[in-house]
Structure 1
């Protein structure tokens, strides 16, 4: 059934289900047939698998088919899953997140990291929250330089003042991508960027960090992003 879901042939899927194939048996990686159909963008297969796949089994798998559809860039599959009651804020289980260096959680992050404005918009319109991942979705969109994606995230409440704790300051992480881009910088400023945080030093007039403190090196930025 898993292979049939991957191929997307609705007749084969229907025949297998008729003869007792179980859509709730995961592979060794934890994926279910519904995940594979969503990732491959097979809409008809997905329509067959949604009503026969148990929500508790999906929860046990640690991932939603929304993650799969977003990873594959299939907006129609996202629409179908959302209209069928799947939660746009279902987060990857920690054991699944460990497979990603950025420890991503949300389906929205998959869409944003794919530079997929349409899928991101569908998820946001369905109620996906923009600030749920360790690396902020806005920061990823700014790294990609996609104005439309940045603007979409900002309209749905992305935190412009998010920062990664790689040094002792509160310097907003998104700003590092806007310093040489006036359009991007204005987008931040027009959406509540707190300029005073650039001058917020926790040491005041006291001694600062040791000279060997790593801070914002290229390696750190690469690791964080």
Structure 2
């Protein structure tokens, strides 16, 4: 029997639309008549990605068993990314329980479409402020240091205290740098929270290496609360701590 491959103007197959609607009966019917779960849209997404992103648990469960590993590899993205991006913890747990790699990275060509160069599923969860999915991924073994802009820096910059605590408890590197834009020794995380005393204390209490703040030679200075950030003088005073 000829495979149902009809596609809409955006290159999405009928099965893709059915996966997005969340109707398992429609998905069953299409699969029975030869619809391919490995047929990608113009954006490279497979039906399994759509089901995971939309949070359709039953459809996702069905597509997990019929989607080929080769098609997933060629797509350059994992349904784990999709579930984390959509914020669907139940679907994410299903994928984890089914053996999907929580540390799978977006293909570079896909990552290049994001201005922040994200690559990991954990990054999606953290950038969305999703505590549940963040915890779930970390508990499943997700590494917090796989992205150029590490997840901890994303959470610090956005003021996500709970996620910062979770990441630090999972041994995220408190002294990490965003090397793509930072050519100084001044710690990146501290740059992101100079006006947030609570966040700064949180970092310091988890082993932040403040000594590095005294080894920056760039010419800028300003005063913030009890902190004097300066490249010309690193002398501590009774009322200020010299940081540079």
Tell me which interval the TM-score lies in, with the shorter structure as reference length: 0.7 to 0.9
Q: Which residue of 2 aligns with 1:151?
A: 165
Normalized per residue, which structure has more strand?
Answer: 2
TM-score by length of 1: 0.87
Cα distance in 1 between the residues matched to 2:65 and 2:173:
37
- The higher relative CO (CA closer than 8 Å, separation ≥ 6) is in 1
Q: Which residue of 1 aligns with 2:195?
A: 180
TM-score by length of 2: 0.81
1:96-125 residue CA offsets vs partner (Å, 9 max, x unmatched) = 111101110000000011010100110000
* 1:3 and 2:17 are equivalent in the alignment: yes
Q: Which residue of 2 aligns with 1:222?
A: none
Shift of 1:132: 0.8
Shift of 1:181: 2.0
Regions of 4+ moved over 6 Å? none
Q: How many residue pairs end up in the alignment?
A: 204
Q: Which residue of 1 aligns with 2:139?
A: 125
1:81-106 residue CA offsets vs partner (Å, 9 max, x unmatched) = 00000000000000111110111000
Q: Which residue of 2 aligns with 1:36?
A: 50
Shift of 1:167: 4.7
- Residues 14, 125 of structure 1: CA spacing in aligned structure 2 closer, same or farther, 3 A cutoff? same
- Residues 22, 115 of structure 1: CA spacing in aligned structure 2 closer, same or farther, 3 A cutoff? same
Cα distance in 1 between the residues matched to 2:105 and 2:166:
21
Normalized per residue, which structure has more helix?
Answer: 1
Q: Which residue of 2 aligns with 1:51?
A: 65
Cα distance in 2 between the residues matched to 1:200 and 1:161:
14
Q: Is residue 160–residue 172 contact of structure 1 (8 Å, CA) maintained in 2?
A: no
